Structure 1
Amino acid sequence: MPKNLWKILDYEKYEDYITFSSIDSIFEQEIDERIVYIEDLKKRKQAYGICGECNEPGTGEYWCQSCNAKRFKDNLKNWTSGNEIIDEFMQQSQLNAVHHTKYFEWIPFENFRNVTHTSSDGYGNFYSAEWPNGCINSWNIENQKYERSTNCKVALKSLYSDIRADFFNKIKSHLQIHSFDIIQCFGLTQDPGTRDYMMVLEYRDVSFRYS
């Protein structure tokens, strides 16, 4: 049976997940020694440990991109948003995820409890809701199942039924940047009454703007 070979991440020394090298790599390295580049296998092993299934260094905290991609691929047949473009977009995020914050999942609306309208703006409506299942944090290699943050409170932001290019640009930003100041987007759902698609967001105090 595969064993848990992950390391407890030292947040003061390493980023939560790998970074892909760019022409600015040297400059970035001088700024932040916490950056872990994908090709630096030694540093990846030091930061995240080893995947107990494929024996390769992790790509993020308790995360192996290649092994999770296989699991996500096997599960593709079990869900659909009803929109081919959205399905393809979310599938690509799952297959390329290097960390549990770097992908989206389709969440059936019936999985939420106590959905309550909180506010509106010119772009849509906002709701609070409870998500009993919660988001994926890691794969439990010994129990062979995903560990989730159960009983989450989330914010739902309606996007109306007309999905445009600016919508994808907006939610891509949630994948590209991960910090305390950026509200995490867990995935998408659809209101069965209005047929509007909705972003499922980390719930924050009203002082944060859900952009």
Structure 2
Amino acid sequence: MGIIPKDSFFVVKVANVKYFKRQLRNFAFIHYVLRLSQLQVSEISPELMHLYVMQEANLVAIANNKALSYGNCPDCRSQRTSAAWCKICDISNLKGKFYSWTSGNSMIDEFIQYTQLNANDSTDYLEWIDFNQFDLVENTNKRGAFSSIYSAIWMEGPSWNLDEEAEVWTRNGPIKVILKRLDNSQNINQEFVNQLYRYYKCLQSGSLADYFGMTKDPTSCYMFVMRYYENGNLYSYLDESMGVLCWRDIVDMLWAISAGLNFIHERDLIHGNLHGGNILVENEMDSIDTKIADTGIHGHVDKQTSYKQIYGVIPFVAPEIFNGYTLTKESDIYSFGMIMWMLSAGVRPYCDRPHDSQLIQEICSGTRPNIVSGTPPVFARLMLQCLDADSSNRPTASQLYECLGNWVTAICDDPDPSELSNQFDIAEEIKFSNLEQLHFNILPCHEKAIYYSRPLNFSEPFLYGKM
């Protein structure tokens, strides 16, 4: 391994990786890559760790609160905006390759080119990837209302490796990815592409699931190429863990999810389909990484969306949506509240009953899942606020992010006990003293409890009456 240029990394003393990653969020680091060379984790001193960091926009150095300098481009001498990335020269190189690829659809070509012409670093854009670059393509038998999910090996891989001597990013080599196949996308329409323009920054944010680019399968359906998350989505993660999560991990996971939701809402966008299947999970050393997926890429791709048509997973859909209101930031917060409940309970909401018009009627009438015994009071209050029938009483994503960040500091990082940390300590003791009595998701879900997004075509008049 060559010597890393000083302008491509900084060194900071940290107690552990999990604490440092929380500080990254505190200082609004938008995108970062933790590189630990060829060393094993056990070989790295916890007091001194080299972290090579890339940013999407203004990256702040922890040591002195000054913006990091990435030096000047050796070709044009302009200031780099990220490690080994010159906005002028690298974008020019990407533009020079436009002639060498095509998706077969001018709207898709122009969209991908737009992301490249507006990139701020080496991961801040989408690329067109020929389908022959993928090996071992397999149907995962998972799907949503408008897409199906495949896994594959991308033989070239993303440009993740830094060649320190040449100061350029090189291909990673074979890497497992997810291919999200868009139904009927042979006839993709302008409305869907316009939606991609509005949301494309959400496809590369470090707070959300990573998207590498697009491809097209042999049937001419378009597919998004996503990072593969080893532990799957939140549903499968709870299944694997038998629903037993410690409260510290629950709060840390929710903080990460709130960071992604806040990123979306700060840009005056909404997710509109937030549920456990769209939260991707991966264990990273001593922390659990959770990212929101499917931001802005759900909906019909071949025809206009009907604003009267409801799609989603019933337990996560806000009651006002069933009453004819449009999706809002507040309806996203309701979905977040249901994710809070799911993590606290260790089971999927309403898993013991059919997801039908009767459940919708009860939700619209005020029914919510029972708070699990032993839940910290402060957690229960915030969750119920998110699930409030009056959407104006729900917190904002920014408030959630700030509140959960304070919780993380109090219960994970601050060595001094507080009333807040005591609540979670007591809840932890209650949970793990009653493990034998906790059934969690050992029992199967009801056969008509459906946890993937689908059209909710119920016509009963109570759905659209006043709440």
TM-score range, shorter chain: 0.7 to 0.9
Q: Which residue of 1 aligns with 2:150?
A: 127
SS state at 1:136 partner: coil
What letter is aligned with 1:169? Q
Q: Check conservation: 1:136, 1:146, Cα contact below 8 A.
A: yes
SS state at 1:98 partner: coil
Normalized per residue, the structure richer in strand is 1
For residue 183 of structure 1, the aligned residue among 174, 193, 209 is 209
What letter is aligned with 1:17? Q
Q: Which residue of 2 aligns with 1:68?
A: 90
Q: Which residue of 2 aligns with 1:56?
A: 78
**TM superposition shift of 1:64:** 1.2
Q: Structure 1 residue 200 and structure 2 residue 225: aligned?
A: yes
Rounded Cα–Cα distance in structure 1 between residues aligned with 2:6 and 2:88: 15
Rounded Cα–Cα distance in structure 2 between residues aligned with 1:113 and 1:172: 32
**TM superposition shift of 1:90:** 0.7
Rounded Cα–Cα distance in structure 1 between residues aligned with 2:167 and 2:69: 23
**TM superposition shift of 1:5:** 6.2
Q: Check conservation: 1:189, 1:200, Cα contact below 8 A.
A: yes
- Give TM-score, length-normalised by structure 1: 0.75
Label 1:166 to 1:116 Cα distance change in 2 as closer, same or farther (>3 A). same
**TM superposition shift of 1:163:** 2.2
Rounded Cα–Cα distance in structure 2 between residues aligned with 1:166 and 1:88: 14
SS state at 1:149 partner: coil
Q: Which residue of 1 aligns with 2:346?
A: none
Q: Which residue of 1 aligns with 2:240?
A: none
After TM superposition, list the pairs within 5 Å mapping 1:6-21 onto structure 2: 7-10=7-10, 15=29, 16-19=54-57
Mark the structure with the bigger radius of gyration.
Answer: 2
SS state at 1:7 partner: helix
Q: Which residue of 1 aligns with 2:159?
A: 136
Q: Which residue of 1 aligns with 2:370?
A: none
What letter is aligned with 2:232? V
Rounded Cα–Cα distance in structure 2 between residues aligned with 1:14 and 1:5: 24
Aligned residue pairs: how many? 186
Query: Bigger relative contact order, structure 1 or 2, given CA contacts below 8 A and separation 6+?
Result: 1
**TM superposition shift of 1:62:** 2.3
SS state at 1:60 partner: coil
Q: Check conservation: 2:181, 2:221, Cα contact below 8 A.
A: yes
Q: Which residue of 1 aligns with 2:192?
A: 166
Q: Structure 1 residue 117 and structure 2 residue 139: aligned?
A: yes
Rounded Cα–Cα distance in structure 2 between residues aligned with 1:159 and 1:99: 27
Label 1:138 to 1:48 Cα distance change in 2 as closer, same or farther (>3 A). farther
Bigger shift: residues 183-192 or 200-209: 200-209
**TM superposition shift of 1:142:** 5.5
- Give TM-score, length-normalised by structure 2: 0.36
Rounded Cα–Cα distance in structure 1 between residues aligned with 2:7 and 2:167: 18
Q: Check conservation: 1:6, 1:62, Cα contact below 8 A.
A: no
Q: Check conservation: 1:159, 1:197, Cα contact below 8 A.
A: yes
Q: Which residue of 1 aligns with 2:44?
A: none
SS state at 1:127 partner: strand
Cα deviation code 1:159-198 (max 9, x no counterpart): 131324335535753524612x411111000001x21100
**TM superposition shift of 1:19:** 3.0
Rounded Cα–Cα distance in structure 2 between residues aligned with 1:187 and 1:172: 16
RMSD, aligned α-carbons: 2.9
Rounded Cα–Cα distance in structure 2 between residues aligned with 1:5 and 1:138: 14
Label 1:134 to 1:55 Cα distance change in 2 as closer, same or farther (>3 A). same
SS state at 2:178 partner: strand
Q: Check conservation: 2:82, 2:120, Cα contact below 8 A.
A: yes
Label 1:142 to 1:168 Cα distance change in 2 as closer, same or farther (>3 A). farther
Bigger shift: residues 62-71 or 169-178: 169-178
Label 1:54 to 1:6 Cα distance change in 2 as closer, same or farther (>3 A). farther
Q: Structure 1 residue 106 and structure 2 residue 121: aligned?
A: no
Rounded Cα–Cα distance in structure 1 between residues aligned with 2:28 and 2:143: 39
Q: Which residue of 2 aligns with 1:150?
A: 173
**TM superposition shift of 1:96:** 1.7
Bigger shift: residues 61-70 or 75-84: 61-70
Q: Check conservation: 1:188, 1:197, Cα contact below 8 A.
A: yes
What letter is aligned with 2:188? I
Rounded Cα–Cα distance in structure 2 between residues aligned with 1:95 and 1:124: 28
Q: Check conservation: 1:130, 1:154, Cα contact below 8 A.
A: yes
Q: Check conservation: 2:107, 2:193, Cα contact below 8 A.
A: no
Q: Check conservation: 2:5, 2:164, Cα contact below 8 A.
A: no
Rounded Cα–Cα distance in structure 2 between residues aligned with 1:201 and 1:174: 13
Q: Check conservation: 2:131, 2:217, Cα contact below 8 A.
A: yes
Runs of 5+ consecutive residues of structure 1 not aligned to the other structure: 21-32, 36-42
Q: Check conservation: 1:113, 1:130, Cα contact below 8 A.
A: yes
**TM superposition shift of 1:121:** 1.8
